[in-house]
């Protein structure tokens, strides 16, 4: 959709789903156009690409480098803050064909007179909604006005994004020509998110969030996972939590740029499986191996949800996005469903038996790493362990798996399926015919249950079809409730 239009010089504003290949959609035609026109090697920048974050700028540069026919065919320079500006200045003066950067550092170079825009042929604004939403509008306007003052002939301008809110049109007239083309591959789609993402939501009280996250990571996080937090403090708290057994690392704005790059490189190389990050990691990062995204609370706007969930299911792969919410945040979930054209399937937190089975699964999977050469060294210990269990090899193996999985000291506390509350068991009651109010369910329970139990029942909710209801009971009363109803089954 973009290739011919870009090579023929059209100005474009483009919207498509996350993970659909927007970066390649401007990099490939740009490089092919410059090749055909023989524009490489002139010493002055032929193209400028603006990005909202350092991580996205580096990702774009990586795509451009991958399109080279030879190492020296053209030179790409990435400029961003947090590193020496002197090295970037030296490279600019040596000659650059395409430069990619964040607005702040590009402004720094402009103020120092390091850019010669007189030969610029193309300007690209990537993730335009993010850049303007993050307060970079004045920077973008300043950069574009400076370029136009330099007087490059027939400057081509492109804007790309996964979302194009209405307020973004305020800059379109300044950035693009009046005859620009708008390509919106999302407008007619009901589902504005990646098509292969499964969207789930879990009602979790704030104080249970970390414990629930730990269990969700075990049950759903078999591969690469990104966990999004709203603040840097929350990200650091999760890193330090003793409830999370997975190897995790964090990435946010307070971490030095070189460390962020190392962390991202290690994550891509699968040196660890869980990356906890603020929205600095939600935009434009292409990590195809991510199969799970978790948001510890719903974002306040649909665009952020679309970008976060788009970190999985990239390049046609499938993935899952799980969002935690409280009852107070339920309107945010409903807003996201309405504006993104999706339904978040409501599920409960993993139950103890699910967590233990998932932990055992991971432990058994890790056994594949054991070298056959070391197995004989453990034969005597294995035989001794079996003898300690009275010759019951299966019991000895079960105890070993329990120890290795970290669930060996005590049985895990039950959790509510409704909101993840520890120490609660969720019961379901089915009715023979629809009812009109949960008071009928309460009357049935009070008929058979002592006040000691009914006074402890919480979270009564009717099913959508009004053919039943569910509720929570403290774990200490669960077996008694079961016994009472079994005894009253004929009444």
Is residue 490 very low, low, confident or very high in pLDDT (cuts 50, 70, 90)? low
Cα 142 from chain centre: 32
Q: Please state, in angstroms and rounded to a whole number, the distance separating the CA atoms of residues 125 and 326.
A: 37
Q: Which residues contact 269 (CB under 8 A, 6 or more apart)?
A: none
Give per-residue pLDDT as tens, 272-302: 999 999 886 555 566 778 889 999 999 988 8
Same structural domain for residues 53 and 72?
Answer: yes
Q: 132 pLDDT exceeds 70?
A: no
**Any domain includes 191:** no
Q: Is the pLDDT of residue 192 over 90?
A: no
C-alpha to C-alpha distance for 33 and 100, rounded to whole angstroms: 18
Are residue 279 and residue 337 in the same domain, yes or no?
yes
pLDDT score for 79: 92
Q: Average pLDDT in the 208-214 region?
A: 89
Question: How many domains does the chain fold into?
Answer: 4
Beta strands in 33-80 (DSSP E): 47-51, 76-79
Domain that holds residue 400: 357-405
| pLDDT classification of 362: cutoffs 50, 70, 90 | confident
Which of the 8 DSSP states describes residue 135? I
**Does the structure show a pLDDT above 80 at 56?**
yes
Q: How far apart are CA 137 and CA 410, in angstroms?
A: 56
- Residue 409 confidence (pLDDT): 64
Shared-domain flag, residues 131 and 162: yes
Counting Cα atoms < 13 Å in the Cβ hemisphere of 53 gives 22
pLDDT band at 410 (very low <50, low <70, confident <90, very high): low
**Residue that terminates a domain, selected from 323, 350, 377:** 350
CATH label of the domain that carries residue 474: 3.30.70.2280
Report the percentage of the chain scoring pLDDT > 90.
34
Do 380 and 337 have their domain in common? Answer: no
Per-residue pLDDT at 6: 95
Q: CA 399, 404, 410, 412 torsion: positive or negative? A: negative
Q: Does an H or E element contain 219, and which? A: helix 209-220
* Shared-domain flag, residues 10 and 107: yes
Once rounded to an integer, what is the mean pLDDT over residues 440-453? 90
What 3-state class would DSSP assign to 291? Answer: strand
pLDDT of residue 30: 96
Which of 322, 350, 378 is the endpoint of a domain? 350
Q: What average pLDDT is seen over the chain?
A: 86
Per-residue pLDDT tens digits for 135-174: 677 888 888 888 888 778 888 999 888 777 666 666 677 7
Answer whether residue 419 is part of any domain. no
Return the sign of the alpha-carbon dihedral for residues 385, 389, 394, 400: negative
Same domain, 216 and 285: yes
Q: Are strands 319-325 and 197-203 parallel, antiparallel or unpaired?
A: parallel
What pLDDT, on the 0 to 100 scale, is given for residue 103?
87
**Do 33 and 165 fall within a single domain?**
yes
Q: What is the DSSP string of 234-257?
A: HHHHHHH-SS--S-EEEE-TTS-H
- Same domain, residue pair 176 and 30: yes
> Averaged over 184-205, what is the pLDDT?
82
**Residues 345 and 369 reside in one and the same domain:** no
How high is the pLDDT of residue 32? 96
Cα–Cα distance for residue pair 393/24, rounded to 1 Å: 56
């Amino acid at each position: 959709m973009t290739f011919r239009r870009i090579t023929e010089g059209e100005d474009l504003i483009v919207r498509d789903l996350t993970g659909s290949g927007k970066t390649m959609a401007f990099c490939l035609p740009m490089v092919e156009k410059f090749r055909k026109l023989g524009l490489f090697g002139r010493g002055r920048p032929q193209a400028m690409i603006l990005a909202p974050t350092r991580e996205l700028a580096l990702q774009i540069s990586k795509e451009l480098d991958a399109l080279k026919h030879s190492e020296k065919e053209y030179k790409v320079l990435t400029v961003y803050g947090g590193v020496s500006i002197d090295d970037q200045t030296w490279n600019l003066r040596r000659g650059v064909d395409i430069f990619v950067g964040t607005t702040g550092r590009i402004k720094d170079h402009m103020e120092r007179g390091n850019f010669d825009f007189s030969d610029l042929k193309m300007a690209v604004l990537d993730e335009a909604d993010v850049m303007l939403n993050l307060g970079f509008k004045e920077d973008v306007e300043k950069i574009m006005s400076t370029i136009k003052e330099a007087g490059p002939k027939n400057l081509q301008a492109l804007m790309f994004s996964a979302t194009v809110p209405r307020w973004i049109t305020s800059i379109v007239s300044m950035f693009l020509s009046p005859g620009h083309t708008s390509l919106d591959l999302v407008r007619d789609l009901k589902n504005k998110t990646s098509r292969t993402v499964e969207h789930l939501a879990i009602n979790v009280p704030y104080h249970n969030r970390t414990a629930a996250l730990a269990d969700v990571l075990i049950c759903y996080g078999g591969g690469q996972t990104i966990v999004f937090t709203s603040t840097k403090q929350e990200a650091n708290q999760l890193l330090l939590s003793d409830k999370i057994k997975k190897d995790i690392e964090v990435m946010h704005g307070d971490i030095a740029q070189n460390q962020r790059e190392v962390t991202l490189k290690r994550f891509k190389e699968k040196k660890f499986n869980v990356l906890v990050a603020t929205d600095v990691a939600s935009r434009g990062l292409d990590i195809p191996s991510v199969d799970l995204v978790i948001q510890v609370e719903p974002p306040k706007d649909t665009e952020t949800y679309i970008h976060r969930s788009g970190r999985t299911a990239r390049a046609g792969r499938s993935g899952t996005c799980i969002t935690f919410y409280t009852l107070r945040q339920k309107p945010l979930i409903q807003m996201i469903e309405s504006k993104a054209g999706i339904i978040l399937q409501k599920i409960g937190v993993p139950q103890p038996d699910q967590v233990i089975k998932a932990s055992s699964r991971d432990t058994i999977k890790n056994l594949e790493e054991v070298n056959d050469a070391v197995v004989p060294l453990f034969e005597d210990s294995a035989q001794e362990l079996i003898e300690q269990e009275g010759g019951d090899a299966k019991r000895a193996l079960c105890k070993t798996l329990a120890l290795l999985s970290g669930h060996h000291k005590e049985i895990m506390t039950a959790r509510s399926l409704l909101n993840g509350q520890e120490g609660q068991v969720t019961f379901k009651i089915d009715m023979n015919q629809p009812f009109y109010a949960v008071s009928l369910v309460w009357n049935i329970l009070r008929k058979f249950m002592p006040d000691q139990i009914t006074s402890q029942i919480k979270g009564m909710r009717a099913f959508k079809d009004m053919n039943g209801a569910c509720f929570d009971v403290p774990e200490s009363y669960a077996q008694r409730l079961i016994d009472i109803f079994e005894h009253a089954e004929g009444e």
